Structure 1
Amino acid sequence: MKKGMHFSQLISDEQNKTHFIKNAGLAKPALLNELGTSNIKLNEYAYQIINSERFNPEGLSSSITIIECALADLGLTGGGNFSEINAAIVKFDLCACPVEFGTYIRLAYLEQAESNVETVNQNPHGALTIFSKPLFENEDFPRGLYLRNFNNAKWLRGYCCSDDYIWTSDARMIFQIKHPDK
Protein backbone atom coordinates (compact mmCIF):
# COMPACT_ATOMS: atom_id res chain seq x y z
CA MET A 1 0.00 0.00 0.00
CA LYS A 2 1.23 3.49 -0.74
CA LYS A 3 2.67 5.08 2.39
CA GLY A 4 -0.04 7.09 4.11
CA MET A 5 -2.73 6.10 1.57
CA HIS A 6 -6.21 6.08 3.08
CA PHE A 7 -9.73 5.36 1.88
CA SER A 8 -10.52 9.09 1.72
CA GLN A 9 -7.56 9.64 -0.64
CA LEU A 10 -8.66 6.70 -2.78
CA ILE A 11 -12.13 8.15 -3.31
CA SER A 12 -10.86 11.74 -3.72
CA ASP A 13 -8.77 10.79 -6.80
CA GLU A 14 -10.75 12.08 -9.81
CA GLN A 15 -9.97 8.94 -11.84
CA ASN A 16 -11.48 6.70 -9.17
CA LYS A 17 -15.21 6.85 -9.76
CA THR A 18 -17.83 5.78 -7.25
CA HIS A 19 -21.35 4.71 -8.18
CA PHE A 20 -24.46 3.72 -6.30
CA ILE A 21 -25.85 0.55 -7.94
CA LYS A 22 -29.47 -0.38 -7.30
CA ASN A 23 -30.85 -3.88 -7.60
CA ALA A 24 -34.01 -3.76 -9.74
CA GLY A 25 -35.08 -7.16 -8.42
CA LEU A 26 -35.23 -8.79 -11.85
CA ALA A 27 -35.26 -12.55 -12.38
CA LYS A 28 -32.77 -13.99 -14.89
CA PRO A 29 -35.06 -13.83 -17.97
CA ALA A 30 -36.03 -10.21 -17.27
CA LEU A 31 -32.41 -9.30 -16.54
CA LEU A 32 -31.25 -10.80 -19.85
CA ASN A 33 -34.08 -8.93 -21.59
CA GLU A 34 -33.00 -5.65 -19.97
CA LEU A 35 -29.41 -6.19 -21.13
CA GLY A 36 -30.67 -6.89 -24.67
CA THR A 37 -32.95 -3.85 -24.66
CA SER A 38 -29.93 -1.74 -23.62
CA ASN A 39 -27.88 -3.18 -26.51
CA ILE A 40 -25.45 -4.90 -24.15
CA LYS A 41 -23.66 -7.82 -25.78
CA LEU A 42 -22.65 -10.90 -23.80
CA ASN A 43 -20.05 -13.52 -24.63
CA GLU A 44 -20.54 -17.25 -24.01
CA TYR A 45 -18.75 -17.07 -20.64
CA ALA A 46 -21.14 -14.36 -19.42
CA TYR A 47 -24.08 -16.54 -20.43
CA GLN A 48 -22.53 -19.48 -18.53
CA ILE A 49 -22.28 -17.37 -15.38
CA ILE A 50 -25.79 -15.94 -15.65
CA ASN A 51 -27.35 -19.31 -16.47
CA SER A 52 -25.56 -21.04 -13.57
CA GLU A 53 -27.74 -22.34 -10.74
CA ARG A 54 -25.50 -20.38 -8.33
CA PHE A 55 -26.22 -17.06 -10.05
CA ASN A 56 -29.12 -15.73 -7.98
CA PRO A 57 -30.04 -12.12 -8.87
CA GLU A 58 -33.20 -12.28 -6.78
CA GLY A 59 -31.19 -12.94 -3.61
CA LEU A 60 -29.22 -9.69 -3.76
CA SER A 61 -29.21 -6.83 -1.32
CA SER A 62 -31.14 -3.77 -2.48
CA SER A 63 -28.04 -1.77 -3.47
CA ILE A 64 -24.29 -1.45 -3.25
CA THR A 65 -21.80 1.38 -3.62
CA ILE A 66 -18.81 0.64 -5.83
CA ILE A 67 -15.51 2.25 -6.71
CA GLU A 68 -13.51 1.89 -9.91
CA CYS A 69 -9.74 2.22 -9.49
CA ALA A 70 -6.41 0.90 -10.75
CA LEU A 71 -4.54 -1.77 -8.82
CA ALA A 72 -1.65 0.69 -8.37
CA ASP A 73 -4.05 2.91 -6.39
CA LEU A 74 -4.35 0.03 -3.92
CA GLY A 75 -0.58 -0.18 -3.56
CA LEU A 76 -0.18 -3.06 -6.03
CA THR A 77 2.45 -1.29 -8.14
CA GLY A 78 3.62 -4.63 -9.56
CA GLY A 79 0.08 -5.83 -10.23
CA GLY A 80 -1.44 -8.74 -8.39
CA ASN A 81 -3.27 -12.05 -8.48
CA PHE A 82 -6.68 -12.70 -6.95
CA SER A 83 -5.42 -13.36 -3.40
CA GLU A 84 -3.06 -10.34 -3.46
CA ILE A 85 -5.87 -8.08 -4.68
CA ASN A 86 -8.18 -9.49 -2.01
CA ALA A 87 -5.59 -8.76 0.70
CA ALA A 88 -5.03 -5.21 -0.60
CA ILE A 89 -8.68 -4.18 -0.74
CA VAL A 90 -9.29 -5.07 2.91
CA LYS A 91 -6.93 -2.22 3.86
CA PHE A 92 -9.26 0.23 2.07
CA ASP A 93 -12.50 -1.16 3.53
CA LEU A 94 -13.44 -2.62 0.14
CA CYS A 95 -14.67 -6.09 -0.72
CA ALA A 96 -15.63 -8.26 -3.68
CA CYS A 97 -18.84 -7.38 -5.50
CA PRO A 98 -21.53 -10.04 -5.69
CA VAL A 99 -21.14 -11.40 -9.23
CA GLU A 100 -24.89 -10.92 -9.79
CA PHE A 101 -24.44 -7.15 -9.51
CA GLY A 102 -22.25 -7.32 -12.63
CA THR A 103 -25.35 -7.03 -14.80
CA TYR A 104 -26.53 -3.89 -12.99
CA ILE A 105 -23.01 -2.43 -13.03
CA ARG A 106 -22.87 -2.89 -16.81
CA LEU A 107 -26.24 -1.14 -17.16
CA ALA A 108 -24.91 1.77 -15.06
CA TYR A 109 -21.67 2.09 -17.08
CA LEU A 110 -23.13 2.93 -20.47
CA GLU A 111 -20.70 5.85 -20.94
CA GLN A 112 -17.56 3.67 -20.74
CA ALA A 113 -14.69 4.85 -22.97
CA GLU A 114 -14.18 2.84 -26.14
CA SER A 115 -11.07 0.70 -26.71
CA ASN A 116 -10.44 -1.09 -29.99
CA VAL A 117 -7.14 -2.70 -28.96
CA GLU A 118 -7.39 -6.47 -29.40
CA THR A 119 -5.79 -8.73 -26.79
CA VAL A 120 -5.39 -12.48 -26.37
CA ASN A 121 -5.07 -14.31 -23.04
CA GLN A 122 -4.71 -11.13 -21.01
CA ASN A 123 -6.88 -8.48 -19.41
CA PRO A 124 -8.19 -6.44 -22.38
CA HIS A 125 -7.17 -2.82 -22.83
CA GLY A 126 -9.93 -0.53 -21.52
CA ALA A 127 -11.66 -3.34 -19.61
CA LEU A 128 -13.16 -2.79 -16.17
CA THR A 129 -12.99 -6.05 -14.26
CA ILE A 130 -15.66 -6.53 -11.62
CA PHE A 131 -13.78 -8.03 -8.68
CA SER A 132 -15.99 -10.84 -7.40
CA LYS A 133 -15.59 -14.28 -5.92
CA PRO A 134 -15.93 -17.05 -8.50
CA LEU A 135 -19.19 -19.01 -8.41
CA PHE A 136 -17.18 -22.25 -8.63
CA GLU A 137 -13.60 -23.08 -7.63
CA ASN A 138 -13.16 -24.78 -11.01
CA GLU A 139 -10.73 -22.92 -13.29
CA ASP A 140 -12.63 -24.25 -16.34
CA PHE A 141 -15.76 -22.32 -15.32
CA PRO A 142 -15.68 -18.54 -15.93
CA ARG A 143 -14.17 -16.76 -12.93
CA GLY A 144 -15.97 -13.45 -13.26
CA LEU A 145 -17.17 -10.59 -15.44
CA TYR A 146 -15.73 -7.48 -17.00
CA LEU A 147 -17.10 -4.48 -18.88
CA ARG A 148 -15.80 -3.41 -22.23
CA ASN A 149 -16.74 -0.93 -24.94
CA PHE A 150 -15.23 -2.49 -28.07
CA ASN A 151 -15.95 -1.47 -31.68
CA ASN A 152 -18.95 0.67 -30.69
CA ALA A 153 -20.52 -2.17 -28.70
CA LYS A 154 -20.99 -2.34 -24.93
CA TRP A 155 -20.07 -5.78 -23.59
CA LEU A 156 -20.56 -7.73 -20.39
CA ARG A 157 -18.01 -10.48 -20.79
CA GLY A 158 -17.08 -13.46 -18.66
CA TYR A 159 -13.47 -14.59 -18.39
CA CYS A 160 -11.45 -17.61 -17.36
CA CYS A 161 -8.07 -17.47 -15.66
CA SER A 162 -5.96 -19.39 -13.18
CA ASP A 163 -5.65 -18.45 -9.50
CA ASP A 164 -2.14 -17.17 -10.15
CA TYR A 165 -3.05 -14.90 -13.11
CA ILE A 166 -1.44 -11.47 -12.55
CA TRP A 167 -3.41 -8.35 -13.45
CA THR A 168 -1.13 -5.40 -14.26
CA SER A 169 -0.85 -2.41 -11.94
CA ASP A 170 -2.80 -0.23 -14.39
CA ALA A 171 -5.69 -2.72 -14.64
CA ARG A 172 -8.88 -0.97 -13.57
CA MET A 173 -11.24 -2.92 -11.34
CA ILE A 174 -14.55 -2.35 -9.65
CA PHE A 175 -14.89 -3.12 -5.94
CA GLN A 176 -17.71 -2.84 -3.44
CA ILE A 177 -17.30 -0.24 -0.71
CA LYS A 178 -18.10 -1.95 2.60
CA HIS A 179 -19.13 1.20 4.43
CA PRO A 180 -19.99 3.88 1.83
CA ASP A 181 -20.75 6.48 4.50
CA LYS A 182 -17.03 6.89 5.36
Structure 2
Amino acid sequence: MDRNQKAEVVSALNAELAEVGVVVVTRNLGMTVAQSTVLRQKMREAGATYKVTKNRLARIALDGTDYAGLSDMLTGPVGLATSADPVAAAKVAVEFAKTNDKIEIVGGAMGGMLLDAEGVKALASMPSLDELRAKIIGLIQAPATKLATVIQTPASQLARVFNAYAEKDAT
Protein backbone atom coordinates (compact mmCIF):
# COMPACT_ATOMS: atom_id res chain seq x y z
CA MET A 1 0.00 0.00 0.00
CA ASP A 2 1.55 3.31 -1.00
CA ARG A 3 1.32 6.60 0.86
CA ASN A 4 -1.70 7.90 -1.12
CA GLN A 5 -3.72 4.74 -0.50
CA LYS A 6 -2.92 4.93 3.21
CA ALA A 7 -4.07 8.57 3.29
CA GLU A 8 -7.33 7.58 1.58
CA VAL A 9 -7.94 4.75 4.08
CA VAL A 10 -7.28 7.08 7.02
CA SER A 11 -9.55 9.85 5.70
CA ALA A 12 -12.37 7.42 4.87
CA LEU A 13 -12.17 5.78 8.32
CA ASN A 14 -12.00 9.19 10.02
CA ALA A 15 -15.09 10.37 8.13
CA GLU A 16 -16.95 7.18 9.06
CA LEU A 17 -15.99 7.51 12.73
CA ALA A 18 -17.36 11.07 12.78
CA GLU A 19 -20.83 9.77 11.83
CA VAL A 20 -21.24 6.60 13.91
CA GLY A 21 -22.83 6.16 17.32
CA VAL A 22 -20.74 3.24 18.55
CA VAL A 23 -17.42 1.54 17.81
CA VAL A 24 -16.71 -2.02 19.00
CA VAL A 25 -13.12 -3.30 18.96
CA THR A 26 -12.74 -7.04 18.39
CA ARG A 27 -9.64 -9.22 18.39
CA ASN A 28 -9.39 -11.76 15.59
CA LEU A 29 -7.84 -15.01 16.74
CA GLY A 30 -7.39 -16.72 13.37
CA MET A 31 -10.81 -16.29 11.77
CA THR A 32 -11.15 -17.82 8.34
CA VAL A 33 -12.27 -15.80 5.34
CA ALA A 34 -15.63 -17.59 5.40
CA GLN A 35 -16.20 -16.72 9.06
CA SER A 36 -15.20 -13.11 8.41
CA THR A 37 -17.61 -12.96 5.47
CA VAL A 38 -20.46 -14.28 7.62
CA LEU A 39 -19.69 -11.66 10.28
CA ARG A 40 -19.67 -8.87 7.68
CA GLN A 41 -23.01 -10.07 6.25
CA LYS A 42 -24.61 -10.10 9.70
CA MET A 43 -23.24 -6.62 10.36
CA ARG A 44 -24.60 -5.35 7.04
CA GLU A 45 -28.05 -6.83 7.77
CA ALA A 46 -28.10 -4.97 11.10
CA GLY A 47 -27.01 -1.67 9.53
CA ALA A 48 -23.44 -1.88 10.81
CA THR A 49 -20.01 -2.30 9.25
CA TYR A 50 -16.98 -4.38 10.18
CA LYS A 51 -13.51 -3.42 9.01
CA VAL A 52 -10.05 -4.78 9.63
CA THR A 53 -7.38 -2.12 9.18
CA LYS A 54 -3.79 -1.69 10.17
CA ASN A 55 -3.59 -0.54 13.79
CA ARG A 56 -1.31 2.35 12.91
CA LEU A 57 -3.75 3.68 10.30
CA ALA A 58 -6.68 3.19 12.65
CA ARG A 59 -4.90 5.14 15.40
CA ILE A 60 -4.31 8.03 13.00
CA ALA A 61 -7.98 7.92 11.91
CA LEU A 62 -9.16 7.89 15.55
CA ASP A 63 -7.22 11.09 16.25
CA GLY A 64 -9.54 14.08 16.47
CA THR A 65 -12.73 12.01 16.94
CA ASP A 66 -14.76 11.13 20.01
CA TYR A 67 -13.20 7.66 19.86
CA ALA A 68 -9.55 8.70 20.31
CA GLY A 69 -9.44 6.76 23.60
CA LEU A 70 -9.72 3.48 21.70
CA SER A 71 -6.09 3.75 20.55
CA ASP A 72 -4.89 1.74 23.57
CA MET A 73 -7.14 -1.19 22.57
CA LEU A 74 -5.59 -1.47 19.10
CA THR A 75 -2.96 -4.15 19.71
CA GLY A 76 -2.67 -7.32 17.71
CA PRO A 77 -5.06 -8.31 14.94
CA VAL A 78 -8.19 -6.24 15.60
CA GLY A 79 -11.31 -5.24 13.72
CA LEU A 80 -13.64 -2.29 14.18
CA ALA A 81 -17.41 -2.75 14.13
CA THR A 82 -19.31 0.52 13.74
CA SER A 83 -22.94 1.56 13.46
CA ALA A 84 -25.07 4.68 13.71
CA ASP A 85 -27.51 2.78 15.95
CA PRO A 86 -25.77 2.59 19.35
CA VAL A 87 -26.78 -1.06 19.83
CA ALA A 88 -26.57 -2.73 16.40
CA ALA A 89 -22.81 -3.28 16.09
CA ALA A 90 -22.45 -4.36 19.71
CA LYS A 91 -25.36 -6.81 19.44
CA VAL A 92 -24.05 -8.51 16.29
CA ALA A 93 -20.45 -8.66 17.56
CA VAL A 94 -21.45 -10.17 20.91
CA GLU A 95 -23.81 -12.71 19.30
CA PHE A 96 -21.11 -13.73 16.82
CA ALA A 97 -18.51 -14.05 19.60
CA LYS A 98 -20.85 -16.41 21.50
CA THR A 99 -20.89 -18.87 18.60
CA ASN A 100 -17.31 -18.39 17.37
CA ASP A 101 -14.24 -18.74 19.59
CA LYS A 102 -12.01 -17.08 16.97
CA ILE A 103 -13.22 -13.58 17.86
CA GLU A 104 -13.01 -11.78 21.17
CA ILE A 105 -14.65 -8.53 22.27
CA VAL A 106 -11.91 -6.18 23.50
CA GLY A 107 -13.97 -3.09 24.23
CA GLY A 108 -15.50 -0.15 22.51
CA ALA A 109 -16.85 3.35 22.82
CA MET A 110 -20.20 5.05 22.55
CA GLY A 111 -19.70 8.73 21.89
CA GLY A 112 -16.92 9.85 24.20
CA MET A 113 -17.55 7.09 26.74
CA LEU A 114 -15.11 4.16 26.67
CA LEU A 115 -16.51 0.69 27.31
CA ASP A 116 -14.72 -2.45 28.39
CA ALA A 117 -15.79 -5.89 27.12
CA GLU A 118 -18.50 -6.16 29.81
CA GLY A 119 -19.79 -2.71 28.90
CA VAL A 120 -20.13 -3.76 25.26
CA LYS A 121 -21.99 -6.91 26.33
CA ALA A 122 -24.33 -4.81 28.48
CA LEU A 123 -24.91 -2.47 25.54
CA ALA A 124 -25.71 -5.47 23.33
CA SER A 125 -28.39 -6.63 25.76
CA MET A 126 -30.33 -3.37 25.34
CA PRO A 127 -33.16 -3.18 22.79
CA SER A 128 -32.25 -1.67 19.42
CA LEU A 129 -33.52 1.68 18.22
CA ASP A 130 -36.13 0.02 16.00
CA GLU A 131 -37.41 -2.12 18.90
CA LEU A 132 -37.73 0.98 21.09
CA ARG A 133 -39.62 2.81 18.33
CA ALA A 134 -42.02 -0.13 17.99
CA LYS A 135 -42.67 -0.14 21.74
CA ILE A 136 -43.34 3.60 21.77
CA ILE A 137 -45.77 3.32 18.84
CA GLY A 138 -47.53 0.45 20.63
CA LEU A 139 -47.84 2.54 23.78
CA ILE A 140 -49.20 5.49 21.83
CA GLN A 141 -51.71 3.38 19.90
CA ALA A 142 -53.00 1.41 22.91
CA PRO A 143 -55.02 4.27 24.50
CA ALA A 144 -56.57 5.19 21.14
CA THR A 145 -57.63 1.58 20.55
CA LYS A 146 -59.09 1.31 24.04
CA LEU A 147 -60.92 4.62 23.61
CA ALA A 148 -62.43 3.47 20.31
CA THR A 149 -63.59 0.25 21.94
CA VAL A 150 -65.15 2.08 24.91
CA ILE A 151 -66.94 4.56 22.66
CA GLN A 152 -68.20 1.84 20.34
CA THR A 153 -69.49 -0.49 23.09
CA PRO A 154 -72.57 1.57 24.19
CA ALA A 155 -73.63 2.08 20.58
CA SER A 156 -73.47 -1.64 19.85
CA GLN A 157 -75.42 -2.43 23.05
CA LEU A 158 -78.08 0.10 22.05
CA ALA A 159 -78.29 -1.47 18.59
CA ARG A 160 -78.82 -4.92 20.17
CA VAL A 161 -81.63 -3.54 22.35
CA PHE A 162 -83.36 -1.97 19.30
CA ASN A 163 -82.94 -5.23 17.40
CA ALA A 164 -84.48 -7.19 20.31
CA TYR A 165 -87.50 -4.84 20.36
CA ALA A 166 -87.85 -5.09 16.58
CA GLU A 167 -87.80 -8.90 16.73
CA LYS A 168 -90.31 -8.83 19.61
CA ASP A 169 -92.70 -6.57 17.68
CA ALA A 170 -92.37 -8.74 14.55
CA THR A 171 -93.65 -11.83 16.37
Give the TM-score taking structure 2 as reference length. 0.28
Structure 1 or 2: larger strand share?
1
**Bigger relative contact order, structure 1 or 2 (CA pairs below 8 A, ≥6 apart):** 1
Structure 1 or 2: larger helix share?
2
Larger radius of gyration: 2
